Structure 1
């Protein structure tokens, strides 16, 4: 089916109000990050309906595939007023990541030439711009080849991030790594995996979940054989805004939409806060 045909599809009616039609400036990013687990068209439509019900204005979707299901999600979100951003080459990729935004201007950033698993967009309201980078890291296959592939990808991503870095920055998605003191301890992860997470924090990013939950033990991927893992992250710089909420929603797992929990984060934009107080935007 052609892209135009997908664009013209009619999707199930929802009761969710279209954020793009609301009056007034957007003063916060309501970010939903979800690994969609390569859905077929039927599950893809259920995922679209669930995403709309969260009333998020920013979506970061990982483990997308250029299949019927992946294209269905893109067309469904576009039909609901979302601007979707994918890295060039996504149609020929095995996996890709997508950033979707509604009610806030989204402009694609210089793409990561090495893999459509990485996507970046500038999100702009009346007072500020946040650069959001969506990331789907390679899965830990627990083999030497998998380790080498992850190490190379992580190095190239850090190089790309340094090239496009700006003060107001977010890195969001299924990074497929855990924090160094993750509980339970997961011996399948290697030093370079922990270093990747640590280097992102060293670059000035804050782990939104950990900042609000210093002793939190939630996980986003539950597996009795390989150990429950907190693989999905929202990392933000101080200049991007204030973290108001950040929590994992396991409805996506319990409703068989994905094998991952969604990560819902609310970020109060710094520029919007300053403008509301009569101050110039940063």
Structure 2
């Protein structure tokens, strides 16, 4: 079973890319972030024509998350329970016997800013919710755009992306580690311990061509699923297409 995550950075713009990639990669489940579409405009029919059922939660211009799956999703959760937030960043659903939790983590703007403090509060709320989710659903995958590079192997220049920099600060990484301490494992890093691959490259300064990237799109599997991870990777090809998302799909295969 192949499960993927992709920040498409506007599904309205990137729908042809998504359709092409679904045909090529044939994942069973895909978590999308930054769809940037109100629910009434979600391309449900176009994706159904490719064999995918969709659950989604979006808003105009910003944010937006969705889960596409070959079999219908159930027990759908929108947002973080008990955490008031107008931003559409979280959706969870059960597909088969798997609990899929799709996160579009807050960017945070800059260390010490109000948005940074909001990011840390948001991550704490996710932690508290996931603690209950994992008890109820031992077979779970938490995936998405985390806007956090886990460690120095996940940045192109550790001297630039240091403890005081957004996306790589000590507090952000500690928050991610607390999530993993709930019993989640970074599938990519577990299977590729020394690899230096990235999933996001800035549009500016020829970031992709120069491989000035970060690995911030993660697939975290629960303890029960860890023995079943056969492969995990990042598909760089869609980043080479015309008018691409700045992110590439991250994926994991379960045996």
TM-score (normalised: structure 1): 0.74
Q: Is 1:98 matched with 2:98?
A: no
Alignment correspondent of 2:141 = 170
Contact 1:167 1:239 in 2 (8 A): yes
Q: Deviations over 1:6-58 (max 9, x none)?
A: xxxxxxxxxxxxxxxxxxxxxxx2112111011444x3223222223211111
Distance 1:207 1:168 in 2: 15
TM-score (normalised: structure 2): 0.81
Q: 1:228 aligns with which of 200, 213, 235?
A: 213
Q: Is 1:65 matched with 2:32?
A: no
SS in 1 for 2:93: strand
Q: Is 1:51 matched with 2:38?
A: no
Contact 1:112 1:160 in 2 (8 A): no
Q: Deviations over 1:161-183 (max 9, x none)?
A: 12322211110111111113444
Give the 5 Å matches for 1:180-191.
Answer: 180-182=151-153, 183=155, 184-185=157-158, 186-187=161-162, 188=165, 189-191=168-170
Alignment correspondent of 2:45 = 75
Question: Which residues of structure 1 form unaligned runs of 5+?
Answer: 1-28, 269-282
Alignment correspondent of 2:182 = 203
Distance 2:15 2:170 in 1: 36
Q: 1:238 to 1:251 in 2, by over 3 A?
A: same
Compute the displacement of 1:245 (Å): 1.0
Alignment correspondent of 1:245 = 231
Compute the displacement of 1:110 (Å): 3.5
Compute the displacement of 1:111 (Å): 3.0
Question: Which of 1 and 2 has greater Rg?
Answer: 1
Alignment correspondent of 1:153 = 122
Compute the displacement of 1:150 (Å): 1.1
Contact 1:65 1:95 in 2 (8 A): yes
Distance 2:41 2:250 in 1: 20
Distance 2:201 2:17 in 1: 21
Contact 1:252 1:259 in 2 (8 A): no
Distance 1:164 1:213 in 2: 27
Q: Deviations over 1:134-189 (max 9, x none)?
A: 11111242251231121121111112212322211110111111113444321213
Please report the RMSD computed on the Cα atoms of aligned residues, expressed in angstroms: 2.4
Aligned length: 231
Contact 1:38 1:69 in 2 (8 A): no
SS in 2 for 1:109: strand
